[in-house]
C-alpha cells in the first residue's frame, strides 16, 4: 500500500516533467505519418501534440481570433504570405536546419517568402480533375482539360454526377486558367468572365463540395470532380479497398492547374522555437518526408525523399510533376481585402441565384 502511494506520488512529480517538453503542431488532418511522429518523439525526447485544421482560412481565422501556443504550423503559400505580412511569424535559424539542402530549389525562394526567411516547403498538392475511369471511357469524355468541368457540351453527359470544390479561390482559379488567363489574374473583367463560365456550368453540377466528394467518388455516386490530388488519390485507395471495378484516376488538365505548396512555419509567440527547429529539420530528412507521400499521395518537394517513395506513386504527374507539367502549375497569391470582398460578392451571387 505504501509502495503504491509512493509510486503515485512519483507519478505526480513526474507528470509536470513530461508535460514540459511538448511540441505543439498545428497541422492539416492526416498530414503526418504516425510512425514519423513516433520517431520524432523518440529523437527529441518530447511529446508531439497535434491540433488540426481542414483549410487555411479556418487556421487563419483561429489565429486572428487570438489562438496561441503553437510551435509549428503548415500553411499553404498564400496563407504563409498572409501570416508574414500580418507579422505573425518568426524568422527561421538556418544554422539549425542543415537538411534544407534536400529541398528542390524550384520550390525555394518564391514570391510568398523570398529567401525562405520564414518558411520551408513540407509537401504539396495540385488541384486537378479526378474521375471514374470506367464511366469516362463509356461516355467518351476527355480527362485532360478543364473543358470537361466547364463546357456544357461535355457536362450534358455527366449531368449531376460532377462536383467542384466549395472554394471561391480554387474554382475561380480553374475557370481563369480555362479561359486562358493566369490563376492570379485580378482584372475584374476577367473575373466576371470566369463567373459567367461558372454560372453556365453550374446547372450541370451536383454540388459545391469540399468534404465528402472523396466518399462520393469511392461509392460511384459522383464520376467527375474538381478536387485536390491527395483526395483523389485517397478516393482510389478507398475504391480499391472496397473492391470496386472502377478506378479513380487523377487527370492533369493541359491548360494548367493550381499548385499548393504547404510550408512549415514558426509563429512569433511559439513557446518552444527550439523544438520547432528540431522538428522542421527532422521533417526535411528524405525518409521522414517520404513517409507522408507514401501515406497520402502528396507531392514531395524533397529531392532526398525520392528513393524512399513507392514507385507507383513516383509515376503520378500530380505527385511528381515532370518539367513540362511543372511549367503549367501556378501557386495562388493572397488577395487584398478589397479583392476578397469583390470575389465574395461574386461567389455569393453564383451560389445563391
Partner 1 sequence: MHKRAPAWLGKWLVSGPPLLYLVVFFAVPSLIMVLASFRTPGEFGGLAPLVDESGAVDLTLDSYTRLLSEPLYAEIFVKSFWYALVTTVVCLVLAYPLATLIAKSERRHRDLLLLLVILPFWSNFLIRVYAWMIILGPNAALARAVNGVLALFGHEPVPLLFSAFAVLVCLVYVHLPFMVLPLYANLEKHDQSLLDAAQDLGASAWQRFWRITFPLSLPGVYAGSALVFIPAFGIFAIPDILGGPDDSLIGNVIKQQFLETRDWPFGSVLSLVLTVLALALAGLAAWIGQRGVGRLASGDA
Q: Which helix (H) or strand (E) holds 146?
A: none
Segment lying near partner 1 (by CB under 8 A), choices 128-136, 150-158, 204-212, 296-304:
204-212
- In the chain, what's the furthest Cα-to-Cα distance? 81
Q: How far is residue 195's CA from residue 321's CA, in Å, rounded to a whole number?
A: 29
Rounded Cα distance, 181 and 175, in Å: 9
Angle CA 316–317–320, to nearest 5: 85
Residue 17 cell numbers, joined: 516533467
Binds partner 1 (CB under 8 A): choice among 135, 160, 244, 328:
160
Does the protein bind partner 1 through residue 83 (CB under 8 A)? yes
Q: How far is Cα 58 from Cα 46, in angstroms, rounded to an integer?
A: 27
Residue 344 binds partner 1 (CB under 8 A): yes
Is residue 340 near partner 1 by the rule CB under 8 A? yes
Choose the binding region for partner 1 from 93-101, 119-127, 274-282, 334-342 (rule: CB under 8 A): 334-342
Are the C-beta atoms of 169 and 320 separated by less than 8 Å?
no
Q: Does 86 contact partner 1 by CB under 8 A?
A: yes
Stretch touching partner 1 by CB under 8 A, among 97-105, 161-169, 294-302, 314-322? 161-169
Contact string 167-196 vs partner 1 (x = CB under 8 A):
xxx---------------------------
- 266 to 305, contacts with partner 1 by CB under 8 A? none
The reply to whether 12 sits near partner 1 by the rule CB under 8 A is: no
Nearer to partner 1, 13 or 65 (CB): 65
Contact 231, 213 (CB under 8 A): yes
Residue identified by cell 473583367 is 189
Q: Does 82 bind partner 1 (CB under 8 A)?
A: yes
Q: Is 53 helix (H, G, I), strand (E, B) or coil?
A: strand
Binding span for partner 1 by CB under 8 A among 57-65, 67-75, 119-127, 139-147: 57-65
Q: What distance in Å separates the CA atoms of residue 289 and residue 291, rounded to the nearest whole number?
A: 5
Binding status of residue 166 toward partner 1 by CB under 8 A: yes
Q: How far apart are CA 52 and CA 56, in angstroms?
A: 11
Residue number, 51 or 96, with CB nearest to partner 1: 51
Rounded Cα distance, 308 and 294, in Å = 9
233 binds partner 1 (CB under 8 A): no
User: Which residues of the chain form contacts with partner 1 (CB under 8 A)?
Assistant: 55, 57-58, 60-61, 63-65, 82-83, 85-86, 160, 166-169, 202-203, 205-208, 211-212, 215, 219-221, 334, 336-337, 340-341, 343-345, 347-349, 351-353
Amino acid at each position: 500500500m505504501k509502495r503504491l502511494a509512493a509510486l503515485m506520488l512519483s507519478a505526480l512529480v513526474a507528470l509536470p516533467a513530461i508535460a514540459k517538453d511538448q511540441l505543439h503542431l498545428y497541422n492539416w488532418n492526416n498530414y503526418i505519418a504516425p510512425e514519423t511522429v513516433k520517431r520524432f518523439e523518440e529523437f527529441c525526447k518530447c511529446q508531439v501534440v497535434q491540433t488540426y485544421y481542414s483549410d487555411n482560412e479556418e487556421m487563419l481565422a483561429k489565429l486572428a481570433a487570438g489562438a496561441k501556443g503553437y510551435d509549428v504550423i503548415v500553411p499553404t503559400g498564400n496563407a504563409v504570405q498572409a501570416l508574414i505580412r500580418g507579422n505573425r511569424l518568426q524568422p527561421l535559424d538556418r544554422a539549425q536546419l542543415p537538411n534544407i539542402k534536400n529541398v528542390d530549389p524550384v520550390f525555394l525562394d518564391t514570391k510568398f517568402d523570398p529567401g525562405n526567411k520564414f518558411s520551408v516547403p513540407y509537401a504539396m498538392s495540385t488541384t486537378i480533375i479526378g474521375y471514374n475511369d470506367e464511366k469516362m471511357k463509356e461516355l467518351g469524355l476527355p480527362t485532360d482539360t478543364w473543358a470537361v468541368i466547364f463546357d456544357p457540351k461535355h457536362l450534358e453527359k455527366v449531368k449531376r454526377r460532377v462536383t467542384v470544390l466549395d472554394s471561391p479561390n480554387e474554382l475561380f482559379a480553374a475557370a481563369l486558367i480555362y479561359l486562358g488567363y493566369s490563376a492570379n489574374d485580378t482584372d475584374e473583367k476577367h473575373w466576371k468572365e470566369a463567373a459567367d463560365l461558372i454560372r453556365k456550368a453550374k446547372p450541370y453540377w451536383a454540388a459545391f463540395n469540399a468534404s465528402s466528394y472523396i466518399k462520393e467518388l469511392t461509392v460511384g455516386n459522383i464520376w467527375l470532380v474538381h478536387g485536390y490530388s491527395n483526395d483523389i488519390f485517397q478516393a482510389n485507395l478507398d475504391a480499391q479497398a472496397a473492391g470496386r471495378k472502377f478506378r479513380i484516376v487523377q487527370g492533369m488538365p493541359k491548360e494548367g492547374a493550381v499548385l499548393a505548396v504547404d510550408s512549415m512555419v514558426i509563429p512569433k509567440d511559439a513557446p518552444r522555437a527550439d523544438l520547432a527547429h528540431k522538428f522542421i529539420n527532422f521533417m526535411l530528412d528524405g525518409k521522414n518526408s517520404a513517409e507522408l507521400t507514401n501515406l497520402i499521395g502528396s507531392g514531395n518537394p524533397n529531392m532526398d525523399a525520392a528513393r524512399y517513395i513507392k514507385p507507383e506513386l513516383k509515376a503520378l504527374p500530380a505527385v511528381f510533376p515532370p518539367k513540362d507539367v511543372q511549367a503549367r502549375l501556378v501557386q495562388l497569391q493572397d488577395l487584398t481585402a478589397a479583392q476578397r470582398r469583390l470575389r465574395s460578392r461574386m461567389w455569393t451571387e453564383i451560389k445563391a441565384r
